[in-house]
């Protein structure tokens, strides 16, 4: 007798082993969404930088502890699964932060929460052109995908020289890029929440020139921010000051003394 396929693992991870995803925890929480090919662990260094908050991250299917989980049919389905998990847990996130592909997933999660009548968290979208203006995304041909990655963040020589590892990583990068390439549910969609769009001043031109129209997707306040760095500015300069400011705007969160404030909106 054939066994039914295992249920997909939960998507949301608490990044500090001493913490949890318990909604009764009084500390405010931020939920982070990684870039295409990214993992929840990408955001683990942020937890010590926001010690009086809880930093959670979404683990997409196909990597780390979800390596056996299949990719969703589309980006909206991915967002719906995350939103359902949030609603079932009773967690109330104060901020959703999405980087690159994660910006679109976070936006759709915010839309799902709005549709369910849940309280709208602030949305921070990072290094992403407005949905209708995003650059073309290849996802089928390996050579095309590798050239695409060269513009954003090339794979390390160690990965490229390990054929088995390269194949594994490209499998889920291609699946992520497929989701972005076919993402159309954004058309005419708006949320009723504060929306902050962040871009590195050295990001690729298609993103630098097309991030401000994110303002067309909210009925709330829109704040565009330009910061030093390229597409992955947040590796060297995590935007924890910005996130702390958004947490403080929605809660009684206080950022520890000694952390510099984020750049002014521009």
Residue positions counted in the chain: 266
Provide the token pair at 175.
């699946």
- The torsion defined by the Cα of 78, 80, 84 and 85, in degrees rounded to 10, comes to 20
89-to-22, 82, 226 alpha-carbon distances in Å: 8, 11, 35
For the question of residue 71 being annotated catalytic, the response is no
SS3 content of the chain, % helix, strand, coil (to 5): 40, 15, 45
Nearest by Cα to 75 from 83, 87, 64:
83
Among candidate residues 100, 111, 126, 127, the one labeled active-site is: 100
Please state, as a whole number, how many other Cβ atoms lie within 10 Å of the Cβ of residue 26.
7
Backbone angles phi, psi at 183, to 5 degrees: -80, 110
Contacts of 79 (CB under 8 A, 6+ apart): 105, 108, 109, 111, 112
For 39-60, b where at least 16 C-beta lie within 10 A, e where not — what string?
bbebbeebbebbeebbbbbbbb
Angle made by CA atoms 8, 10, 15, in degrees to the nearest 5 = 140
The secondary structure element, H or E, covering residue 173 is: helix 163-181
In angstroms, the CA 138 to CA 123 distance is 27
Catalytically active residues are 100
């Amino acid at each position: 007798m054939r066994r039914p396929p295992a249920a997909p693992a939960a998507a949301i991870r608490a990044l500090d082993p001493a913490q949890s995803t318990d909604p009764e925890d009084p500390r405010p929480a931020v939920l982070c969404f990684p870039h295409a090919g990214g993992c929840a662990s990408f955001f683990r260094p942020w937890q010590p930088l926001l010690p009086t908050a809880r930093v959670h991250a979404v683990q997409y299917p196909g990597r780390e502890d979800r390596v056996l989980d299949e990719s969703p049919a589309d980006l909206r389905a991915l967002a719906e699964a995350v939103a359902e998990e949030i609603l079932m847990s009773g967690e109330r996130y104060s901020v959703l932060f999405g980087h690159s592909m994660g910006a679109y997933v976070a936006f759709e999660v915010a839309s799902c929460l709005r549709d369910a009548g849940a309280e709208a968290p602030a949305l921070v979208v990072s290094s992403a052109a407005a949905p209708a203006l995003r650059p073309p995304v290849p996802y089928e041909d390996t050579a095309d995908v590798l050239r695409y990655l060269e513009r954003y963040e090339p794979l390390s020589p160690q990965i490229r020289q390990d054929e088995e590892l390269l194949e594994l990583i490209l499998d889920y990068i291609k699946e992520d890029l497929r989701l972005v390439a076919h993402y159309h549910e954004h058309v005419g969609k708006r949320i009723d929440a504060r929306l902050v769009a962040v871009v590195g001043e050295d990001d690729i031109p298609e993103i630098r020139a097309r991030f401000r129209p994110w303002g067309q997707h909210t009925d709330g306040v829109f704040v565009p921010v330009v910061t030093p760095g390229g597409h992955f500015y947040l590796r060297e300069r995590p935007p924890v000051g910005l996130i702390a400011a958004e947490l403080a705007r929605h809660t009684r969160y206080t950022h520890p003394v000694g952390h510099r404030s984020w750049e002014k909106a521009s």
